[in-house]
Structures are given as C-alpha cells and as structure tokens.
Structure 1
Amino acid sequence: MEVTVRVRYAPSPTGHLHIGGVRTALFNYLFAKRHGGRFILRIEDTDLERNVTGAEQEMLSGFRWLGFNWEEGPDVGGEYGPYRCTERLPIYQQYLQRLADTGAAYPCYCTPEELQADKERGVPHYVGRCRHLTDVERHAREQEGRVPSWRFAIPAHRTIQFRDLVRGDVSFQTDDLGDFVLMKSNGIPTYQFQVVVDDALMKISHVIRGEEHLSNTPWQILVYQALGFDVPQFAHLPQVLNSDRKKLSKRDPNVQPVHVYREKGYLPQAIVNFLALLGWSPGGEQEILSMAELEERFDMDKISKSGAVFDTQKLAWMAGEYVRRLSVESLTEMVAEQLRQRAVSLPSHADEKWLRSVVALFQEKMTCAEDFVELADGFFHKDIEWEPEALDVLRDEHAQAVVLRYIEFAKSDAEWTPEQSRARFKQVQTELGVKGRQLFMPVRAAVTGALHGPDLQQTITYLSKAWVVYRAEHVLLQVTPLR
C-alpha cells in the first residue's frame, strides 16, 4: 500500500528565520509537492527561556513571502493540532505515563552537580544511577525535596538499524547510548521525546532534516518502538557550509536571516531557487527553476551526501538573473519602497516615469532593489563627489575643451533628449576632431564623477539640463589643467 506523504518543518521561535533552516524546510516542501503529499508547520517552542517574542510570526511571514503554503500549522489549524508544542504538554504527559507503565521510563533524581561530576570524570553517558532504585529509595529522595526528571531505559546489546534515504544503511549500538532524559523536572519534554510523540500523532511519514540530527535517530527509534508507533523514513540532508567549507554559522556575516533579504528587496523566487540547489541537483545544465519546476523535478535520489557550500557570488548572480527577468514596472515599485524607507525624495525635475527610466538604466547591474539606492545615488543629489580617476581625466586641457564645448551646446539647446545629446557630441567631434573615449569620457567624468556607468546619453537626459551644466562648470573650476 502506498504511503501518504506527510512531512513537517518544526522551527524553534528562538531567533530569526535562518537561511539554512529554510533549505531544510524547502526540501520537505518540494518532496511533499512532488508526491502529492502534505507539508505541515509545527512550532517547537518548549525552550521557554530562549523563545523570542514575535519570532513565530516572523517565521510564518517569511515562509509565506518565499512562496510556501502549508496545509496544517499554528495559523491554519488542522486535524492533528495543536501545532505549538507548549499547547501539547498534557499529550506528552500521557505518553510518558505509557512508557513508565511498561518500565521503559524511570524517574531520575540526580542533581546537576552529580551529573557534572560524572562528565568531569570522563563518563561518556549517563551511568544509570537511578535506573534500579527501589520504591523506598525513590521515596527517600522525594522526601529530600528532589523533583525527578524522567529518563528512557536504553535496552542493552541491541543494534539499531535503519535505511536513510540520503545516506543509505546506518546502524548504532545501544551500548554506546546513555539513558537520556525524556521529561525535565519542570514538566517540559526534551526534543528527543517531544519530536517522536508529535511526529507519530501527526502521522509524519518522512522525517527530512539536517545531518546534525543523525545521531539523535537511534534514541528516537527506540521511543517509537517502545510506544508501539510506526517508525517513519528518515533522510538526513548534507550540511550547508561557508566559503571555508566549515558548517555555516547563523552569525556568518555573508549570510543573512530571511527578513534581511526581504528588506533589501531580493526576489523570493531567487532565494528559493538558490537554496534548492544547495545539496540537490536537477540534472542537466538548467539552473534557473521556478517553484513549479522544482516541485515537478525534485528527487531525493539526487541529494548529495557531501556538504553544500553557500556561494554568495552564485546567490548574487542568480538574484541578478531574476531581477533582469522582472518587468521594469515591478522593479520600480520595489525600488520606490526602498527609497521610501530611506526618506529619499525624487528630484524636482523627476516624476514616476523618470524613476522608471532610471531604474531601467541600472536593472542589469542589480541583484536586489536596495542596490539601486547606491548605484543611482548621483541621480538624486545635485552635488556629487568626483572620483580621483575622473579628476585625473579632467586635468587634461583637451578633455576640458571637450567639456566646455559640450556645455556651450547644451546651454543653447532647447531639446533635452538622448537623441539630441548624441547630436551635441557630433558637433563637438566635428569642431575639435576628437572621437571615442576622448570625446565621451571627459563629459561622463564631469557630469557623473566616474569613468564608468550606464548609457551616457540617457544618463545626461535623466540628470536634467540644469544639473549637467551645474556639475560640469563646478568641476572645471576645481581642476587645474596639466600642461
């Protein structure tokens, strides 16, 4: 009988939505869509001390922005809720009691000091000090005021085997595992217990997660078996690595939380496309893939076993590809939002059509809408600073002559269009006998402060006649010609 695919992503609301976690969620999401299954969001909020107010909402909002849709979750409900772990505490107590009734769980009265002393002696795992206490001994410890945690009694001399969908056959020996805590003394379940109960009751068929969880799997399989639950299929994804091929840190300055990419005006489709290729290959040469194409082509067999490097240059390239494919109208809306956030007003000679035209000038150079603010800064401020290289060009007396003559033609020209600017350059060329770089570069240097930039004729047009004349005259007063 074919299994109905049900997968979940279960973040902890202890900080921002991190890009590495999104990659894990995405692989779950694509696997569900590929097999006509269901994607569930669950909030694992039992780390009460580290929970951050507003983090859950930021995560849900971030996933929506990226294009995820979930059939069940804390905001949409579902048949197997609640979908926040702190709302499921009575459920964990119920299943802990089942384990206690069968002898698979026992109370542990060890103090933090005793456990720390064991660790300092080099004991690899819990020594089982409380596992075989008599009822009298337990009562005595409770009389001392000790509130127990609850541990799982690991069976001896067993081999735990499972087939990982990414890594193949994996096995662990129970003698290498210590009796682990199921429920802390404050009544909060540990991850190892909570995740099994929730995944089983929510009928999760496939647990797809990062490889750092591989070592947790044998403990969790033992809990599944002790409670009589079906064990799901596991898939442990390769780590996301930084440029030094070390595990990606949430504090890596080159990798931002999702909300930062959103605020900068990246296109969510680019983020999704980039993350999908971190550790998975669709085969062939095609790298630009829509969400629909990813859903259709995603195959667990094509996930790599080795770590995937978060290549910031590739992200920039891919983000730029998506920006270039966007309509200039849509990109202008995103740019306008960036300008609003920074309280940058349009110049007095500008309007919405002007902004659209300037955005089009820089679209090829942008990876996100925020890039425009710096790239087009000279279009928003009359006064600029000239780069040293531009001033060097303008110190040449022949270059100054080109600028002066161009400005003279500009002042007397009633028309201010790219075509008319070309005509002015033609006049300068005829009069002074210069062409190419010697003709165009001095004027670009004078009116933009740089030697390189977008189309010069359009640049001159959108800067406005007043600004072009002002800048050219202003800079010529600053430079002393070389003789």
Structure 2
Amino acid sequence: MASAHRVRFAPSPTGYLHIGGARTALFNYLYARRFGGTFILRIEDTDLERSTEASLKAILDGLKWLDIDWDEGPDKGGPFPPYFQTQRLDTYRQHIDQLIAAGKAYRCYCTQEELKERRAQAEKEGRTYKYEGTCRERKDAPEGRHHVIRFKMPSQEGSVSFDDLVLGKITKEYSDLDDWVMMRGDGIPLYNYGCVLDDHLMEITLVSRGQEHVNSTFPQLMLYQAFGWQPPQFAHLPLILGPDREKLSKRKHKEADVMLHKANGILPEALLNFVIRLGWSHGNDEVISRQQMVEWFDFKDVGSTSGVWNPDKLLWLNQHYLKTLPPADIARRLAPFLADKGHALPADDARLEHFVIAFRERAKTLEEMATMAVPYLLQGVTLDEKAAAKHLTADSLKLVRQVRDEVAAMPEWTVAGLDSVIKTVSEKAGVGMGKVAQPIRVAITGNTVSPGIGETLLLMGKDEALRRLDAALARG
C-alpha cells in the first residue's frame, strides 16, 4: 500500500541540476522525511532532442552530492514503475483513447503554418490568440496530414480553482483557457498531460514546484476533472533571483549550477543551509542542521516572496561548516582539491587534518584552504629578500641553529612541543618569542605571515622544515 504522503521531484534531463531544482527536491525530501512519507524521483525525458544521458548523470550526481536520497525512482525501482516518461508511452496513449472515446479530447489536424497565420491575424487585431476549436467536431482524417491531440474544454461558463499551500486560493475562468495540446502526433505527451497521468498513477498527494508553473495547474486540474480523479495538493514555490535580482537562470547566472559550487569548494551542508532559506524560514535561524531541517520543514512556512542569491551569505555559512564539522571529515574532502593542484596525499596523511585546523579560521572554501596548504607541500622556498635581510641576520641565525638542533632531536613533532622549544630558546637568549619565531617563519615560509610558529613547522613536516632551516643557515 502506498504511503499517506507521496511527493516527487520530476526534472527534465536537459542540463545540469539547477539550484531551483535542488531546492524543489530538498523541500519535497524534507516534507517526506518529516511526515513519514515517500519521496519519488521521476525523470521527465520526453524532450527527445535535448534529453541526454550526461544530463541525467549530472542531475543524479548533484542529488547524491547533496545527500537528497529518493525512495522510489532510478536505481531504486518502486511499486509504480517505470520512472522514466519515455518508458510510459503506452500508458499515455491508452488514456488518450479513453478521453477521445468519451468526447473529452480530439484529434486536431491544423498545421503549424495555419496556426501561425491565425496567431498573426489575432495580433494584428490586437487580441490574444486562442485556438478556435476548428477540429473539435471533425470526423474525417485528412490524408497526409499529421495530427495532435487536444483537450476539449467545457463549452459552458465556469471556473477552476485550487487552494495553493503557499499562494492561497487561485481561480481562472474556463473562458481564459483554450483546447490545449496534450500529445504530439508521434505519441509523445506534452508536460500538462504527462505529469498529470504520472502523478495520479503514482499516487502523488502533493505537488510542489516553482511559481512559473501556476498557470499550468489550471489545464491540469481540468484533466483531473475529465478523468474523475482527485487532484493532489499544490504548493508553488517562490522564484530564486540572482544577485542582479533577475530570475536565476542557467543562461545568465553561473551560480545556478549546483555542481559548480562543489568544484568551488562549497560544502553540501552549507549549500543546503543556504538554499533552504531562499523562500522558507524558521524564525530568525540562519544556521540550520540537517536534523533541524527535517524537524521543522513544512510547506505552510514557505513564503511567496522571491529569494535573492547572496554570495557573501553562502561563503559565511561555508566557513561556519568548515570550522564546526569534524576536522577529519573536512580533511577527507580537502584531499581532492590538493590532488587537483598536483599534491595527492594518502587519505590517512596526518597533514590533511593539520591543514584544516590551521586554515579553517581564514579559508572560506575548500579551494582556498587547498591554496593555503600548497606552499607547505613544496620542496624548497623562495625567500622574500626584504624579510630575509631583516630577520635572517647573523645574530638571529644563531637562535635558528639552536631551534633546528632541538627540533631535529624530537622523536615526535607536536604543536605544543615545537612551541615549547621556541619558548625555551628565547628565554635562554633573554629575548621575546617573536625574535626567535619570526626568523624561523621567514626561513620556513619565505615571508613574515603564517599560522602560529609551532603549527607552521608541523604543517611543513619534519624533513622539509629541517631542509629549509638548513638552507637559511647556509646563508650565514
């Protein structure tokens, strides 16, 4: 028996996973998880010219990276297969035949050229074109002409309404709707027809999607009425606007691509936290964990106002998660970014975690963190001559020599142990720690800026640190 709450995400595989699609998937997923429902992934692949395997993979990869897991659909199966529209064509044809037999749909033989002429004439006369119903009562099948299937709107006056969970009650008069095309002559269903059949047959109880689909809901409701089916609830989500306050689009905004954020070093936890706040809120909470999302989410708390993309907010959230998630977890995710820069480290290399701890207060992305770590993975160093002239003097190099001999003898390097050596050498010399730490820093990094000196030595690793200290000593 199907779950009481059944929701779906139904993307078209014609490109990457869009941020708006990811938010729709997230909202449906959270609703299902909160209320013990089922989350279905259905692939609407009837755009045969643009649908590709690469796009399908990109969408599935994006959902998996965000950890938005579906209960039924591709790779999972379920009680209402298949979950690809192109594998359901027989079902669409059978139901079309039912509607035609009942006088609720008909074959239309009007050509594209004829329709184009009529539309142009309507524009010339200053009116909105609406299909005239030319083929409504046609019984013959003109030879050599292709046909489409149109829905037959009721001829009497009336209206169709629905109570949207986000927008409230919305109504449209029958007279504002025309005999819309349900299926092409080749048996491929158009959106308004295919999604209604699938939603009904898969027992979907709530359909949530972007506000751009509001007007599509009315012909869909007429189809439910024609079949005598109970329609699901609807929730139309607010738009997401780019930083320029125009609708976030694949064509204009690089931010629209979910996987671009992965490549840029954004954590999925941060992206989900950012995306959920584009149209939904829980009081003034900004940082929201996955557990809290499941506990709090409901469509009744979704607003109708468009959400605006704020890159600074995303980076702030990302840094929050870099600082608060376990360092070992972040280290695992940092490794591929270092590998991309030519520094592949084994997964168990302790330096990965050291890099996380050292740089998470300053790095806003994994990409930035990797860039900060690279100098510590190189062999040799290029000294800033101004810094070297100031800090690598004959007197300071004597202190560097003492530190070098002490740390070389340490069986295990730790930040506390290395800091202790610097402190002891400075106390014996009667100088402040900076007088010892800064020459060491310049010798190790080539300049005067780095994390704490013990941390810097640890990040460099014993062998390379000693090589660099020896090179600095050789100057004197």
TM-score, with structure 2 as normaliser: 0.85
Give the Cα–Cα distance (whole angstroms) in 2 for the partners of residues 402 and 54 of structure 1.
64
> Residue 69 of structure 1 aligns with which residue?
69
Give the structure 1 partner of residue 8 of structure 2.
8
Secondary structure at the aligned position of 2:221 is classed as: helix
Provide the C-alpha distance between the structure 2 equivalents of 1:403 and 1:118, rounded to a whole number of angstroms: 90
Moved more, 72-81 or 199-208: 72-81
Q: Deviations for 1:234-263, whole angstroms, at most 9, x for unmatched residues?
A: 110011111122111124555263334445
Equivalent position SS for 1:40: strand
| Residue identity in the other structure for 2:292 | E
How far apart, in 2, do the equivalents of 1:331 and 1:402 lie?
41
Aligned 8 A contact 1:125 1:177 in 2: no
In the other structure, the counterpart of 1:271 is 271
Q: Is the 8 A contact 1:410 1:465 kept in 2?
A: no
Cα distance between partner residues in 2 of 1:169 and 1:35 = 24
Unaligned runs of 5+ in 1: 478-483
TM-fit CA distance, 1:411: 4.6
- Cα contact 1:210–1:237 (8 A) shared by 2: yes
Of residues 81-90 and 352-361 in structure 1, the stretch that sits farther from structure 2 once superposed is 352-361
Runs (5+) with no aligned partner, structure 2: none
Identity between Structure 1 and Structure 2 (%): 36
Compared CA separation, residues 51 and 363, structure 1 to 2 (3 A): same
Q: Deviations over 1:452-473 (max 9, x none)?
A: 3322332034324334326747
When residues 118 and 415 of structure 1 are mapped into structure 2, their CA distance, relative to the original with a 3 A threshold, is farther
Structure 2 vs 1, CA of residues 343 and 399 (structure 1 numbering), >3 Å: closer, same or farther? closer
Distance 2:38 2:274 in 1: 23
Greater Cα shift, 186-195 or 34-43: 34-43
Q: How many matched pairs? A: 461
Distance 2:18 2:382 in 1: 38
How far the C-alpha of 1:72 sits from its partner, in A, is: 1.9
Choose 451-460 or 242-251, whichever is displaced more: 451-460
> Do 2:163 and 2:169's aligned partners in 1 also have CA atoms closer than 8 Å?
yes
1:481 alignment counterpart: none
Distance 1:232 1:281 in 2: 24
1:381 aligns to what? 378
Stretch moving more, 256-265 or 243-252: 256-265
Separation in 1 of the partners of 2:6 and 2:134?
A: 38
Give 1:362's aligned residue.
359
Q: Given the alignment of the two structures, is residue 150 of structure 1 paired with residue 149 of structure 2, yes or no?
A: yes
Partner residue of 2:303? 304
Q: Counterpart amino acid of 1:83?
A: Y
Question: Which of these residues, 349, 352, 374, is aligned with residue 349 of structure 2?
Answer: 352
String of CA shifts for 1:75-119, please: whole Å, max 9, x gaps: 222222221111111111111122222322222222222233334
Cα distance change, pair 339–399 in 1 and its aligned pair in 2 (3 A): closer
Identify the residue that residue 175 of structure 1 maps to in structure 2.
175
Secondary structure, aligned partner of 2:370: helix
- Tell me, in whole angstroms, the C-alpha distance in 2 between the residues paired with 1:420 and 1:77: 57
Residue of structure 2 equivalent to 1:204: 204
More off after superposition, 116-125 vs 289-298: 116-125
Deviation at 1:446, TM superposition (A): 5.2
Correspondences of 1:77-88 after superposition (within 5 Å): 77-88=77-88
CA distance in 2, matches of 1:125, 1:154: 16
Q: CA RMSD for the aligned pairs? A: 3.2
CA offset at residue 294 of structure 1? Answer: 1.3
> Which amino acid in 1 is paired with 2:377?
F
Equivalent position of 1:287 in the other structure: 286
More displaced stretch, 320-329 vs 187-196: 320-329
User: 1:319 Cα shift?
Assistant: 2.2
Q: Secondary structure at the match of 1:86?
A: helix
Q: Which residue in 1 is equivalent to 2:455?
A: 458
Supply the distance in 2 between the matched residues of 1:402 and 1:129 (Cα, whole angstroms): 97
Distance 1:47 1:83 in 2: 15
Give the residue type in structure 1 aligned to 2:307. A
Q: What SS does the aligned partner of 1:249 have?
A: coil
Corresponding letter in the other structure for 2:331: T
Three-state SS of the structure 1 residue aligned to 2:88 is: helix
**C-alpha contact 2:444 2:465 (8 A) present in aligned 1:** no
Q: Distance in 1 between matches of 2:470 and 2:117?
A: 77
* Residue type of the alignment partner of 1:326: L
SS in 2 for 1:255: helix
* C-alpha displacement of 1:422: 5.8
Instruction: State the Cα distance separating 1:340 from its structure 2 match.
Output: 3.8
Deviation at 1:15, TM superposition (A): 1.6
Deviations 1:324-355 (A, max 9, x none): 222222322222343345541459xx982344
Q: C-alpha deviations, 1:187-237, integer Å up to 9, x for none?
A: 101001111111111111111111110111111111111111112111100
Residue deviations 1:27-58 (CA, integer Å, cap 9, x gap): 11112222222111111111111011233344
2:316 is paired with a residue whose SS is helix
Residue 278 and residue 391 in structure 1: after superposition, are their counterparts in 2 closer, same or farther (change >3 A)? farther
Q: Aligned partners of 2:6 and 2:258: how far apart in 1? A: 25
Match for 1:291: what amino acid? Answer: R
Cα distance in 2 between the residues matched to 1:151 and 1:405: 91
Question: 2:350, 2:117 → 1: CA distance?
Answer: 72
Amino acid at match of 1:149: V
Question: How many Å apart are 1:126 and its aligned residue?
Answer: 3.5
Alignment match, 2:101: 101
Counterparts of 2:249 and 2:295, CA distance in 1: 31
Residue in 2 aligned with 1:131? 135
Greater CA deviation, 462-471 or 268-277?
A: 462-471
Check conservation: 1:402, 1:428, Cα contact below 8 A. no
| Distance in 2, Cα, partners of 1:150 & 1:360 | 63
Q: Is the 8 A contact 2:422 2:436 kept in 1?
A: no
- SS of the equivalent of 1:29 reads helix
CA drift at 1:420: 4.6
* Higher mean displacement: 61-70 or 404-413: 404-413
Change (3 A) 1:119 1:134: closer
Residues 420/452 of structure 1: CA separation in 2 closer, same or farther (3 Å cut):
closer
Are the structure 2 counterparts of residues 399 and 131 from structure 1 closer, same or farther at C-alpha, using a change threshold of 3 Å?
Answer: same
* In structure 1, C-alpha distance between the alignment counterparts of 2:168 and 2:101, rounded to whole Å: 35
Counterpart of 1:480 in structure 2 is none
Aligned equivalents of 1:391 and 1:171: distance in 2? Answer: 75
Aligned pairs for 1:309-348 (under 5 A) are 309-345=308-344
- What amino acid sits opposite 1:304 in the alignment? G
Deviations 1:258-286 (A, max 9, x none): 33444556443333222222211122x44
CA distance in 1, matches of 2:18, 2:131: 37
Shift of 1:59: 2.6
Measured at CA, do residues 48 and 380 of structure 1 come closer, stay the same or move farther in structure 2, by a change above 3 Å?
Answer: same
> Partner amino acid for 2:372?
L
Distance 1:459 1:36 in 2: 50
What is the rounded CA distance, in whole Å, between the counterparts of 2:424 and 2:367 in structure 1? 36
Give the distance between the partners of 2:381 and 2:99, measured in 1 at CA: 73
